[in-house]
Amino acid sequence: MVSLRRTGLALASFLVLSASASAADYRYDTAYSVSLGILPIARLTFRTEVKNDRYEISGRFRSSGLVDIVREVSADSSVSGVFAGNRLKPDLYRLDYTSGKKKSHYTITYGNGSAIDTKVEPPPKPRPQSWVPVTDADLKSVLDPIGALLISGDGDVCSRTLPIYDGESRMDLVLSPVGNAPFTAGKARGEAIVCSVRYVPVSGYKKGRKDIEYLKSVTGMEIWFAKTATLKLYAPVYAKIPTRYGTVHVSAEAFDG
């Protein structure tokens, strides 16, 4: 399959609900199903906890079904930070990623909206000449992979570019408006705002890599947002990600709508 580490932004960023901007303590659990066509391939769960002005969001990704026959994939991630101006400001992001026997650990420290330190274990192997390195300028004003698509309710949801850094790669997700569509997520029903998504690699990748080239050229990638009742923020309820092996669908099984 397409590298889950790479399209994973598309998954992990798409799939998170966060907390209220109030000072009250808050906890919320949610889950998403991931399928390739009609075949279930993974499940994601998230827990958001808020205490005073601090928040932490933790997520778990577990592959299943046909994916496990080829290679078992799992990821445990978390981001913590503070609320300011009704927005999430991360200060620490962690990811433990396992693919078969390969394990990687990423830690990103943030300051003033920029990534100021990155640790990767084990250290990456020497990069080929075709590698596009991440520069200091690329790390200015970036978003963490978990909270990237939690959007304030005081603006146009889809007319924006999201600069994301995952500890290895820096990329832009360019959103554009498509329209509205009805959605159902557990007991929640409503109307979602539909955005098209264009993937633009910036740095931290190998030129000519097939999955990168495919994601650059693909059309039909979408993410649907709905406004949460508790949060008053827009959060994803559905995502559609075309791959070379078929279309991946990511659907919320419950939503605070």
Residue 7 CA to residue 237 CA, distance in Å, equals 18
- What confidence score (pLDDT) does residue 69 get? 47
> Per-residue pLDDT averaged across 174-196, rounded?
93
DSSP helix/strand/coil, 84: strand
Burial class (CB in 10 A: 0-12, 13-18, 19+), 3: middle
- What confidence score (pLDDT) does residue 158 get? 95
Average pLDDT, the chain: 85
- What confidence score (pLDDT) does residue 243 get? 87
> Per-residue pLDDT averaged across 13-33, rounded?
58
> Per-residue pLDDT averaged across 159-164, rounded?
95
231: pLDDT confidence band, cut at 50, 70 and 90? low
- What confidence score (pLDDT) does residue 115 get? 97
Judged by phi (left if over 0) then psi (alpha if -120 to 50, else beta), residue 216 lies in: alpha
DSSP helix/strand/coil, 137: helix
Judged by phi (left if over 0) then psi (alpha if -120 to 50, else beta), residue 210 lies in: alpha
- What confidence score (pLDDT) does residue 16 get? 45
Q: Is residue 160's pLDDT more than 50?
A: yes
> Per-residue pLDDT averaged across 213-228, rounded?
92
- What confidence score (pLDDT) does residue 248 get? 92
Q: Is residue 22's pLDDT more than 70?
A: no
| pLDDT tens-place string over residues 46-87 | 888 888 888 898 999 988 765 544 567 889 999 999 977 667
- What confidence score (pLDDT) does residue 1 get? 41
**pLDDT-above-90 percentage for the chain:** 53
- What confidence score (pLDDT) does residue 88 get? 82
| pLDDT tens-place string over residues 102-138 | 999 999 999 999 999 999 999 999 999 999 999 999 9
> Per-residue pLDDT averaged across 9-13, rounded?
48
Residue 195 CA neighbour count, 13 Å, CB half = 25
- What confidence score (pLDDT) does residue 66 get? 56
Query: Using an 8 Å Cβ cutoff, are 198 and 225 in contact?
Result: no
> Per-residue pLDDT averaged across 86-97, rounded?
90
> Per-residue pLDDT averaged across 217-222, rounded?
94
Q: How far is CA 250 from CA 101, 159, 179, in A?
A: 26, 22, 19
* Region of poorest pLDDT, from 24-28, 108-112, 140-144, 160-164: 24-28
> Per-residue pLDDT averaged across 195-199, rounded?
96
- What confidence score (pLDDT) does residue 245 get? 84
Q: How many residues does the chain have?
A: 257
Residue 149 CA to residue 57 CA, distance in Å, equals 13
Residue 254 CA to residue 237 CA, distance in Å, equals 9
Residue 245 CA to residue 40 CA, distance in Å, equals 14
